[in-house]
Structure 1
Amino acid sequence: MSTSESALPAQEQARLVEESKRLAAFQAVKDHLLPSYTKIGIGSGSTVVYVVDAIAALGPAITKSMTFYPTGAQSEELIEAAGLNLAYISKLPSGTQLDVAFDGADEVDDDLNLIKGGGACLWQEKIVAAAAKKFVCVADFRKLSPRLGTAWKKGIPIEVLPMAAPRVLDALKQMGSHGARIRPGLPGKAGAIVTDNGMWIIDAPFAPLLLPKDSEKGLHAENESSGVWTVDALADRLIKLPGVAEIGLFYGQSGLEVASGAQKPVAAYFGMADGSVEVRGAGAS
């Protein structure tokens, strides 16, 4: 947020952010939800509220033939409240893909890699995103960063088996993550937050993650203990730690590059502070 924006009263700042989310959501739905689509993934988070609003605004004449697949309880409630058809990803027939999935992010870098999991739904979110032919990210201007870990300082969310958490924390320290910790429960709840899958979340801060183009500038990941990693190398190392179920790095290839299983969005829509919408990646279908 710029100096002029940060000088705004808190209430006006909040209104600006919410309006930017709404604008990005409506533009993304306009560009990527074709009337012929029948299976749509709906993610989690505050921006997804506006995605569902945009879909519902199309009217039942268009949405009655569509079925919507949530990533968790929040998106399930949004789908039902909007009067849209609800189904579950566990019931999606083998070999079938979602036409498109919409979801938010905690941070997005220049190559459209994402950090997700601030709301502790990262495993379900990745399953739904990877089940879609194309995944579209919707966010506000605060989520746009040159490198992951630049603005999002809370760390990479890692979903772990509770019994493995101490060992994973030890490994993260050896990998150069300073301040990795088990995410606590909500205020008034003792102990760790428990995901829908009965797991815990570890938040692991790292130095901003490098991209392939950084090597051209003479920037390179050093040895493991330095804590300096590329996105792909860190993701590969984290997912291989015993006891780790899933990680909040969405990386690799997009649905434009592979036929199935893509984690990276084909496009990211950012509502900007000036009322515009910035699109990174593919635009309209």
Structure 2
Amino acid sequence: MDPAAAHAARLAPYVEPHLARRRAGTKHPIHDFLFQYYSYRPAQLMRWQPPGQLSTAKRPLVEAILKLLQATIDREGNFGCFGLHEWAMVYRAPRPRHPQPLRLGHAETDKVVEGHRVTCSHWDAVRFFTAPARPLNSLGPSSDDRPDFEQPACLHATMDLYKHAYRLADVVGSDLVADAFELAWDVRIMDMRAAPYDMSGITIDPYGIEWTPIPIETAEGKREYARLQREFAQRAAPVRARLAEVLAGALEPLRRGQREGTSWVSRP
């Protein structure tokens, strides 16, 4: 099988059900997230391309992403956050962000947040916290200091490896994009299993199993969350390292040319 066909066959079990739901006007509360939150269209994801050359126009983006990746690689993971970011997004909110009901109800959900130390390091999660929840976070990430806070145990930092890869798909190639996508897919399942929502009866594709919660409000649930979080951090480590290696390698000719005082002719 040629690379393009193999790539399409690999991702079809994820993309085709999403497209079918879109045609039918239905939504999946877990699986549609990667296609709605991230800007990479299904047709782009399905299209295979090999690794390519870095243009000078993309150098600032590559340098920024590489800095973030390297800072994350060098930092120790926090395995004690227990997915409370999703709970902080509905804390004292008049209505949840998702249509599914809260598994414990509003009052008990608020008590879970109030009874734990919130330690969210990821700005793209913190920015969705409710106003009453933001002061409860012991960390203060912002949109301008991600390298100072991002850490390898964070589920959302792991999902964002997909974003970093597809933004530079013409540099890193579609195989690495697909690796990051599949990792993000599985992480999102865990993210919502630990969220405060009741999704009883929701089927998790392409596995064909029903959703079960990770009750992080209990000691057993915390142990399960931390165990799975470590497994995903281990899975993410080689993807993050490969992405950083490819980007560093793509930058080297530009930096070498700059050091030697020569010009770099970018790809059109």
TM-score (norm 2): 0.28
Q: Which has the higher contact order (CA 8 A, sep 6+)?
A: 2
Q: Report which of the two structures shows the higher radius of gyration computed on alpha carbons.
A: 2
Greater share of strand residues, 1 or 2?
Answer: 1
